[in-house]
Structure 1
Amino acid sequence: MSAEMFEDLEKHCFFKREPQPGELFRFTWEELTRPEKAAELLSLYGPGIKAQEPDVAAAYFGSWLGGLCTALQHSVSFHNASFRLEPDNVTIQGYRNGSHTAFGFLLEDRETVTVPAASREAWRDSLLQSFYGLHLRPLVESVASAAGVDPGMVWSAPVTRIHYAYDHWLESARDSEHRQTVEEDFRYLLQLGGEHFGRKRNPLDVKFRYVENPKDPGEKWRLKASCCLAYRTGSGHGYCYTCPRLTAAEREEKKRAMLAAAGS
């Protein structure tokens, strides 16, 4: 794997060159496909975010899994390469980062495979189908089982992160031809059949609603694809301004509170 490629994974996708100090726990991806190990992770992670129930820890952890999704998509679209993003090659570490618990992904083998130029689309299609259907799906379903929730809740957790990453990729595309490649690769991801996720439809293919940025009404923010359950932690955070559960009146009240805090 080139230095540039790994730097991208480090900067945007939570990958680490080596285990981080302040380790709280460490599991292989393969281990976490077993519900008893997933339950152990949730029990260790939950107190760090003051989760009131295991489903809250599952939702938060699901959001971190977006790092795996964006790592693969970025590698394909920006480097025309893939690496072994599979359960036997990834270790997931939880560590203390200031007052927060963060996750880091560690690779055993960093070797990459370059896309075959003559059959790029077939290679990409097979790669994404295998990643979601054979590798990520068992992990998501294991975490959901451990938390006692439907897997759809865990699948929805990283969706907003993935779509914001796509926005960034479009902005950082090298030229119009590369931008078209980024668009086509992402379009295929959203067109993957629901069977690869164990769902009736692709949970990543979401039509977002938007609200104005309280501090800049000319800018629009996506409403999250699902509630992150922050209101069910002991942090006092409450609902996010972009939570889809808020009514218009509740969001307006949240807006006033945010503006008041910014002006104090």
Structure 2
Amino acid sequence: MQQSDCDKLERHFFVSRREMDNAVWSGPASELLETAQMSSLISVYARLLKAADLAPAATFFSGWLSGPALAVQYAMSVWNKTFDLSLNNLSVQLYNQDGYYRFSFMLNRWAEQDGPADEAARTEWRSSVLQDVYGNTLRPLLEAVAAASGVNVGQLWGQLPARYHYERNEWLKAAEHELLRRRIADDFRFLTEQLDPHVFGQAKNPLGVKLRLIEDLYDSERHVSIRSACCLYYRTEGGRYCYTCPRLKEAKRAEMRASMRAEAAQTKA
């Protein structure tokens, strides 16, 4: 894999091969399955978020976990490769960058694998890759977050679908040929519609939810997805309901939209 590919994984999906400066918490991902260790991470993060309790830190951290999972999806669809995202190969780092606390998921060693060229063999490979990522990495981590914070694990899974929908559309737009577009779409379809719900430990595939589209906050010609679950930002100091929050009343959403567009128009004038 080229350096530019590694840069893409770090910049866009928070997957790195280096230790981050200004880390305030770091540890092996495998140890986060222990309630005490996960509680330590969530407690530190909650304090930095100025949250009233652990719940917002739990939902925010779950949202960050979309990064490494999507990194595997991107590598699989765009490069026809995968890499080792097992808990034993992963370290979690919480660090300060320009006053904002971010997560980085460091790979302890780089181990990539090329996907098969044969379509039937690739279908089996894809299923194996995704079962491993969601069944052995994402699911245990989210269940550990739920145990440490008291937040329902379904709400934690609900932090992922909106970003998945956005990323899928962006990758399709950037694809340079039809074969790649078809592979991206097929791989996402398998993930959201065909991957067995038991892999997630859920009765239904939590990534297969239908998302409602609304006008973009600033541009009436664009649309964004309403999130499938509240991120609890309103329970942090100075927080509020997000524009795409499923709990936000439509009248309040329209008011927020009008206010932001008026402010943007004034800035341009």
**TM above 0.5, one fold?**
yes
CA distance in 2, matches of 1:195, 1:34: 22
Let me know the Cα RMSD of the aligned residues.
Answer: 1.4
Name 2:211's counterpart in structure 1: 208
Over the matched positions of the two proteins, sequence identity in percent amounts to: 37
1:139-218 equivalences under 5 Å are: 139-190=141-192, 191-218=194-221
Matched, 1:222 2:202: no
Distance 1:43 1:184, change over 3 A: same
Q: Which moved more, 1:153-162 or 1:84-93?
A: 153-162
SS, match of residue 25 in structure 1: strand
On the 8 A contact 1:222/1:242 being kept in 2, the answer is: yes
Q: Deviations over 1:109-157 (max 9, x none)?
A: 1121111223111011111012111222111100111001221111111
Using the size of structure 1 for normalisation, the TM-score is 0.95
Name the amino acid aligned to 2:139.
Answer: R
Name the amino acid aligned to 2:104.
Answer: G
- Which stretches in structure 1 are left out of the alignment for 5+ residues? none
On the 8 A contact 1:49/1:100 being kept in 2, the answer is: no
1:1-264 equivalences under 5 Å are: 1-118=1-118, 119-190=121-192, 191-234=194-237, 236-262=238-264, 263=266
On the 8 A contact 1:152/1:203 being kept in 2, the answer is: yes
Alpha-carbon shift at residue 160 of structure 1 (Å): 1.4
CA distance in 2, matches of 1:185, 1:204: 13
On the 8 A contact 1:22/1:97 being kept in 2, the answer is: yes
SS, match of residue 218 in structure 1: coil
Alpha-carbon shift at residue 90 of structure 1 (Å): 0.8
- Which stretches in structure 2 are left out of the alignment for 5+ residues? none
Alpha-carbon shift at residue 233 of structure 1 (Å): 0.3
CA distance in 1, matches of 2:78, 2:5: 9
SS, match of residue 147 in structure 2: helix
On the 8 A contact 1:83/1:113 being kept in 2, the answer is: yes
On the 8 A contact 1:5/1:79 being kept in 2, the answer is: no
On the 8 A contact 2:18/2:106 being kept in 1, the answer is: yes
Count of aligned residue pairs for this structure pair: 263
Q: Deviations over 1:184-232 (max 9, x none)?
A: 1111101212101111001011211111124321211111121111111
